[in-house]
Amino acid sequence: DSGVTQTPKHLITATGQRVTLRCSPRSGDLSVYWYQQSLDQGLQFLIQYYNGEERAKGNILERFSAQQFPDLHSELNLSSLELGDSALYFCASSVALAGPTDTQYFGPGTRLTVL
Amino acid sequence: GNSVTQMEGPVTLSEEAFLTINCTYTATGYPSLFWYVQYPGEGLQLLLKATKADDKGSNKGFEATYRKETTSFHLEKGSVQVSDSAVYFCALSDPLNTGFQKLVFGTGTRLLVSP
């Protein structure tokens, strides 16, 4: 158990809908990262938050947004869903050391299925 | 940008066989290198890491050595078990403009171990 929790575990919804994925980081971790794992794109970085502020964006669609709240939990909002958004969405957290030695710990993921 | 190349799977072995999963990387600077494992139906777990050249990461009988001269971080285990069946991801740290790092993953290698 990494200490990172994600809810829900599974989500099934229809095209055009909006969903919210939730992540609670490990105790003491200030940084939260979101990744998408899909069959065609593999594992890709979406967005990073540090202590409540957005700090970096990766390959995140404009239909997607995220927040990190004062208690450090984070939510990823996906709207106008398309079939191609079906994927496993992971949250990771880290202490947020500057530099390459920072280690990210992953949650169990939320599997999103868009029908 | 930084990238990771992993050997194609699946890798099929009998129990107690020797395992090697090849991983090579392209990077500027001095990234950290990681192996993550994904068991069926579960999230990503950190298996081991190395933060500088010639470092050896090890955990649960798995080992990998950070080889800067060959830009490699091959995963090895002397005697695999059925319970090692999983997908293994090689990853490196890639600097963001925030001073923090995102992870860049390889495509994953599925390992199947039969009794």
Q: Residue A4: its pLDDT value, please?
A: 95
Residue B17 near residue B2, CB atoms below 8 Å: no
Q: Residue B80: its pLDDT value, please?
A: 97
> Radius of gyration of chain B from Cα atoms?
14
| Structure confidence at residue A92 as a pLDDT band (50, 70, 90) | very high
> What mean pLDDT comes out for the span A82-101?
88
Nearest CA in chain B to A41: B107
Q: Residue B40: its pLDDT value, please?
A: 87
B102 and A56 within 8 Å at the Cβ level: the answer is yes
| Structure confidence at residue A98 as a pLDDT band (50, 70, 90) | low
Residue A32 near residue A89, CB atoms below 8 Å: no
For an interface test with A, the pick among B32, B37, B102, B110 (most A C-beta atoms closer than 10 Å) comes out as B102
The pLDDT of residue A2 is above 70: yes
Q: A84 phi and psi, to 5 degrees?
A: -70, -10
> What mean pLDDT comes out for the span A5-26?
97
Nearest CA in chain A to B29: A100
**Distance of residue A102 Cα from the nearest chain B Cα, in angstroms:** 7
Count of Cβ atoms closer than 10 Å to residue A18 Cβ: 11
Partner residue opposite A106 with nearest CB, options B44, B93, B98:
B44
C-alpha B50 chain-centroid distance: 10
Q: Residue A75: its pLDDT value, please?
A: 98
B96 and A96 within 8 Å at the Cβ level: the answer is no
Nearest CA in chain B to A96: B100
Q: Which residue has the tokens 């490699």?
A: B72
Tokens of A10: 């599974």
Set of chain A residues whose Cβ sits within 8 Å of the Cβ of B104: 45
Tokens of B68: 């800067």
Residue B80 near residue B11, CB atoms below 8 Å: no
Tokens of A1: 């158990």
> What mean pLDDT comes out for the span A87-105?
86
Which residues, numbered 42 to 101 in chain B, qualify as contacts with chain A under a Cβ-Cβ cut-off of 8 Å?
42-46, 49, 51, 89, 93, 95-101
Count of Cβ atoms closer than 10 Å to residue B54 Cβ: 10
> What mean pLDDT comes out for the span A8-25?
97
Specify the pairing of strand B19-21 against strand B62-65.
Answer: unpaired
Q: Residue A96: its pLDDT value, please?
A: 74
Could you tell me the CA-to-CA distances from B83 to B2, B76, B113, B115 in Å, in that order?
32, 15, 8, 10
Cβ–Cβ contact B9 with A under 8 A: no
Q: Residue A64: its pLDDT value, please?
A: 97
Weakly modelled stretches of chain B, pLDDT under 70: none
Residue B17 near residue B80, CB atoms below 8 Å: yes
> What mean pLDDT comes out for the span A44-49?
94
A42 and B99 within 8 Å at the Cβ level: the answer is no
